[in-house]
Structure 1
Amino acid sequence: MVTAITEGIKVSVITEFISDHSNASLQHFVFTYRVRIENQSDHTIRLRRRHWFIYDSNGVTREVEGEGVIGQQPILEPGQVHEYVSGSNLQTTMGKMAGSYLMERMYDGREFLVQIPEFLLIVPYKLN
């Protein structure tokens, strides 16, 4: 698990390789990632947007931007946690992802970026 804290917002990520949906002969490797967002600040916040960079080990980079996460723009009061699971596919057995969330502080509308820590996507047999 990797973790980063930005302005009191803690983001932790853990990954899993999904072999049942992957096919090495077609260069298709599927991973899920579980994200835990914990509001350790003194302010209620809303997750407005996400911005991801997905890096394949063959040099291909993809960029993904959009509103919220998995169709939601969760509001977290101080001490609250939001978790979700999403996924990504690679053309290679190794890669990585990183990015940021655009958060809004609810009481004054101030927007700020929260770092999503870089995490690795590696097919388990590559670690042997």
Structure 2
Amino acid sequence: MVSKISEGVEISVETFYQADYSNPLNGEFMFAYRITIENHNNFTVKLLRRQWYIFDSNGEHREVEGEGVVGVQPVLKPGENYQYVSGCNLRTEMGKMHGSYQMQNENSKHLFSVNIPAFEMIAPGKMN
């Protein structure tokens, strides 16, 4: 697991290889990741948008952005956390992701960016 605190919001990420949804012979490797967002601020925050940078070990990269996460824009009061699971497909056994969330201070309506730490996705057996 990797974690990072920026702007008073802690982001923790765990990754899982999804063997049942992968087909290595066809260059299809599926990973799930669980993200926990914790609000350490003394004000309520709302997650508005996400932006991801996804890198495959073959040199391919892509960007994904959009509103909220998994169809919602969670609101976290001070001390609260929100957890969700999503997925990423790669063409190789290894890759990495990082990104940011655009968040809003619900009191002042001030917008700010929270960094999502870089995390690796590695199929089991690749690092042997």
Range into which the TM-score falls when normalised by the shorter chain: over 0.9
Deviation at 1:96, TM superposition (A): 0.1
2:24 counterpart letter in structure 1: A
| CA RMSD, Structure 1 to Structure 2 (Å) | 0.4
How far, CA to CA, are the matches of 2:63 and 2:76 in structure 1?
A: 26
Q: Cα offset for 1:124?
A: 1.1
**Which residue of structure 2 aligns with residue 87 of structure 1?**
87
Partner of 1:22: 22
Scaled by the length of structure 2, what TM-score is found?
Answer: 0.99
CA offset at residue 125 of structure 1? 0.6
1:47 alignment counterpart: 47
Partner of 1:58: 58
SS in 2 for 1:34: strand
Amino acid at match of 1:42: N
Percentage of pairs with the same residue: 52
* Structure 2 unaligned blocks of 5 or more: none
Q: Secondary structure at the match of 1:59?
A: coil
Quote the Cα distance in structure 2 between the aligned partners of 1:33 and 1:109. Answer: 30
The TM-score normalised by the length of structure 1 is 0.99
1:51-94 C-alpha deviation (Å, 9 max, x unpaired): 00000001100100000000000000000000000000000000
AA paired with 2:114? Answer: V
Which residue type is aligned with residue 88 of structure 1? C
Q: Give the length in aligned residue pairs.
A: 128
- Runs of 4 or more above 6 Å deviation: none
**Hey, what's the Cα distance between the residues in 1 that align with 2:81 and 2:116?**
15
User: C-alpha separation between the residues in 1 aligned to 2:116 and 2:126?
Assistant: 25
